[in-house]
Chains A and B, each alone.
Chain A
Amino acid sequence: MSCKCGSAVKDERFVKIDQILEQNGRDESFLIQNLEQIQTALGYLPEDVQSYLAEAMDIPLSKIYGVVTFYSLFTTEPIGKHKISICLGTACYVKGAGDILAEFERQLDVKVGETTKDGKFTLQACRCLGACGLAPVLNVNGKVFGRLTADDVAGIIGQFE
């Protein structure tokens, strides 16, 4: 029997979610792992994705929302094409990561946690990356830049523009 709800094609995103659940499991203890992989695949976790997951894993939506908003790794808002995460761990902070963050805020004209209007960059502060030997460090799309000064900021933005 075909679907009567009007849209015959299942949302691509939900197909992806089904694949992830198939691979990991639907037990509640896999919730965080599933959310992490779904976010990696889709970029963020909007409400309809959470609702679908609630049905698929048989967990109340309120609980899923509770988990998504509890952990700093998850976001319910779309993020920019390039994610700049500045480490604000102690080692980086002592070596001036705060100045670098301020310089990014100035040059990109956003506050930490925000995305630029053109959707290109999301500026985030993150917890210790464990690369303290290179402090201060930041991570753009998984690539780590170390031993930074405020003068390096323009160059880094330029690389991804």
Chain B
Amino acid sequence: MNYVALRMLYGDRAKYLMLLCGLTFAVMLIVQQGSIFWGLMIWSQSSISNLNVPIWVTDPGIAQVDEVKPIADTTVDRVRSISGVEWAVPLYKGLLRARLANGEYHQITLTGLDSATLIGQPAEVLAGRFEDLRQPDAVALDQWAVERMGGPKVMAVGTVFELNDKLARVVAIAKTQKTFTNIPVVYTTYERALRYVPRERRTLSYVLAKAKDDAPVEEVIQRIRDHTGLGAFTADAFGWKTIGWVLKNTGIGINFGTTILLGFVVGMAIAGQTFYLFTVENLRQFGALKAMGASTSTLARMILLQAFTVGITGYGVGIGLATIFGLLTAQEGQLPFVETWPLLLLVFVALLMICTLSALISIIKLARLEPAIVFR
């Protein structure tokens, strides 16, 4: 009877397309919104992932990477002295204003890297040489800084601008992942960063470290915490802490959650209603099948097959459309879009729920159907 079920499904083309559109829309909306949400979460911890170091030592009360709480300058040496630490370097991170030659002001995130090693530098350089940061007044920008501060005609290698009335000369442009706030990032050496910013009692933002190859990272982190009384995290753990903070302190989770729920409800409503209509309009035919010896379980299997067939087709089309959207927007870099397999699995489970519930409404109707309806 599977054959009959599928022929019935495809035969009523209008309803089939309506069902397909409803489920495709639901899948596309959930995948698109879910992927953008996850992309935003990835962006929220870009300040960590862009530096690509394994251990972050922070103020013990730190909530997230962009909420810098300076720590004592001596911390770098203290961390270096801890057993199992291979290296430890200072990192400055703070907000400052840049004044361009055309008179425009832009808020920037100043990132000061260890001058000897430049640990934390972006992996990919688009123009210039990152090593030239060691030259006088040298700074490097990420590509988003170029975009935000006027484009490549205004900001390029060799461009000069001011940071807190002090000269800054662009020597390199690096490729990085966009940050949640999309504030331009300006890289320089740690010492020069301290010259750019107003003097504070504590200037060290973070200590970046790495455990020796033979030392378990978690043990080393615990040792850092025990010896310094500071916070210490793997890059992953600090990233998740930051994501947790964003979810808790902004409405972004509720906002996206509502849209995703809406996709689920709309998909459910369209699929449920259309399936119900499909069943009601074919009630006499189903009654005839029942009269001819088709059991309720046979009819239920037919309905479920119809629901899952159109559901899986809608799943494929919906994911395809969402992915095309993602590829187009990701190319432009305007929207974060990270499609992950757990999301796709979650959407698949949600879709199975939509199909099962939609089919269930029809199955209940058919279970109560007296085959004698065909004689009325």
A associates with B: no
Interface positions of B (Cβ within 8 A of A): none
